[in-house]
Amino acid sequence: MATISKLEPKTQHHERNPGLPYNPDAVEDIHVNLSAVERRASTLGGRRTVKKQHQAAWLLKAVSCIDLTTLSGDDTAGRVKRLCAKARQPVRPDLLDSMGMADRKLTTGAVCVYHTMVETAVDALSGTDIPVAAVSTGFPAGLSPFDLRIKEIKASVAAGAKEIDIVITRGHVLTGNWKALYDEVKAFREACGDAHLKAILGTGELVTLRNVAKASMIAMMAGADFIKTSTGKESINATLPVSLVMIRAIRAYEEMTGFKIGYKPAGGISAAKDILGYQIMMKEELGHDWLQPNLFRIGASSLLGDIERQLEHHVTGRYSADFRHPMA
C-alpha cells in the first residue's frame, strides 16, 4: 500500500479574537443573495472530487477536526470514557500502519459533553492534548435564566473544559435586537476566561440566510473564537448554503480585523462523502489554514465510524460491517 501524504501538525496557534465595539452599521449593511448562495453550494460536489490516497488523506484530516460528541439524556460515565478512548485512537492501528501513518499520533480535535461529564472526560483524556468542550448556557434552547447560564460556563471551565459551546438566544435574532445579542455573547466570552468560546447560532431556527450572516458577524464582534451552525437538536442543522454564508462572514471579519475565526458545522453530518464537501468549501473560500483543527471543527459522532469504514475500503478494497468500527 502506498503511503498517503503526511498530515499537517495537529495544532497551529493563532491570536485569539478580542472582538470589536458594537457597530450597528456593520450589521445593517449585510445582504445575502439566496439564489447565488444555493447555486454555489450545489456545484461543489460536481466541480471538486478527491479519489484514492488523496481522499484517504482528506478523511484523516477530517478525523483530526472532529469534536467527538455525546449529548444524550442517558449518557453515563462509562459511555464518556469509551468515547474518550475512541478520541485517543480514532482509527484502528492496523489501518494507520497500512497507510504509513502509524507514527502520526492521530486523535480527534476534541471531545464534547454536557457539563456533568466534563470531569470524567478530563480524567479520561489525561496525558493527551485533546481538549474537552462543554455545551453550556442552557443547551440546546438557551432559555435558562441569564445568571445561571453564566454560572454554568464558569463551572465547566473550573471543571477543566478548555472550550465552551454556548447557544445564543435566537429570539434576539428573530426580533432584530442585535445589541442584546452582542451583549449576551460578550458576557459569555468574559465568563469563559482562557477557555475558547464557540457560539452556536441554531441556524435552522433563524429563518433567513441574512439573519444567519448578521448573527455570525455579531457573535464575532462580541469575541467568539468559533461560530457553529447548530446544536444538533433542531429539525434543520448544518447545510452547505448556511455554511457558505457563515464562512464568508468569517472571511469578511478577517478582512476587517485581521483575526481568524474558526468554523464548526454540526448536526446531521454522518457520511464521509458529506464532510468532503465541507472541507472543499473551507479550502476554496478561506484557504489552507481553515483545514486545521484550530480553525475547523466538525460536531459529530457517527461520522467517525463511516470515515473509518471508508479507510478500511481504501486499504483492503472491501467494505466492512458497521460493527467493526464501534463508537462508544
- Which grid cell sits at 324? 467493526
Q: Which of 189, 319, 328, 200 is nearest to 263 (CA)?
A: 200
Distance of CA 152 to the CA centre of its chain: 21
Per-residue model confidence (pLDDT) at position 14: 66
Across 103-107, 175-179, 291-295, least confident range: 103-107
246 pLDDT above the threshold of 60: yes
CA distances from 30 to 104, 163, 202, 217, 228 (A): 43, 29, 19, 9, 19
**Interatomic CA distance for residues 154 and 40, integer angstroms:** 41
308 pLDDT above the threshold of 50: yes
Please say whether the beta carbons of 112 and 134 come within 8 A: yes
What is the average per-residue pLDDT within 3-12?
44
What is the sign, positive or negative, of the torsion defined by CA atoms of 94, 48, 65, 206?
negative
80 pLDDT above the threshold of 50: yes
328 pLDDT above the threshold of 70: no
Q: Assign 3 a pLDDT band (cuts: 50, 70, 90).
A: very low
- Which grid cell sits at 224? 467568539
Q: Assign 45 a pLDDT band (cuts: 50, 70, 90).
A: low
**Interatomic CA distance for residues 267 and 280, integer angstroms:** 18
Question: What's the pLDDT tens digit per position in 250-262?
Answer: 999 999 999 999 9
Q: Are strands 226-228 and 163-167 parallel, antiparallel or unpaired?
A: unpaired
Per-residue model confidence (pLDDT) at position 251: 97
Mean pLDDT estimate for the chain: 92
17 pLDDT above the threshold of 80: yes
Q: Assign 301 a pLDDT band (cuts: 50, 70, 90).
A: confident
What is the average per-residue pLDDT within 75-92?
96
5 pLDDT above the threshold of 70: no
What is the average per-residue pLDDT within 19-34?
93
Q: Assign 6 a pLDDT band (cuts: 50, 70, 90).
A: very low
What is the average per-residue pLDDT within 70-97?
95
DSSP sequence for 94-162: HHHHHTT-TTS----SEEEE-GGGHHHHHHHTTTS-PPEEEE-SSTTTT-S-HHHHHHHHHHHHHHT-S
Per-residue model confidence (pLDDT) at position 326: 65
CA distances from 240 to 131, 277, 311 (A): 27, 8, 24
Q: Assign 50 a pLDDT band (cuts: 50, 70, 90).
A: confident
- Rounded to 5 degrees, φ, ψ at 36 are -70, -40
What is the average per-residue pLDDT within 79-92?
96
What is the average per-residue pLDDT within 157-173?
98
Distance of CA 146 to the CA centre of its chain: 24
144 pLDDT above the threshold of 90: yes
> Catalytic site residues?
165, 228, 264
DSSP, collapsed to helix, strand or coil, labels residue 66 as strand
CA distances from 237 to 200, 204, 241 (A): 11, 6, 11
Q: Which of 292, 301, 310 is nearest to 269 (CA)?
A: 301
**Interatomic CA distance for residues 181 and 188, integer angstroms:** 11
Please say whether the beta carbons of 141 and 122 come within 8 A: no
Q: Which of 239, 245, 163, 149 is nearest to 198 (CA)?
A: 163
281 pLDDT above the threshold of 80: yes
Q: Assign 46 a pLDDT band (cuts: 50, 70, 90).
A: low
| Domains of the chain (ranges, CATH numbers) | 24-319 (3.20.20.70)
Question: What's the pLDDT tens digit per position in 201-232?
Answer: 999 999 999 999 999 999 999 999 999 999 99
Q: Assign 133 a pLDDT band (cuts: 50, 70, 90).
A: very high
**Interatomic CA distance for residues 303 and 279, integer angstroms:** 14
Q: Assign 1 a pLDDT band (cuts: 50, 70, 90).
A: very low
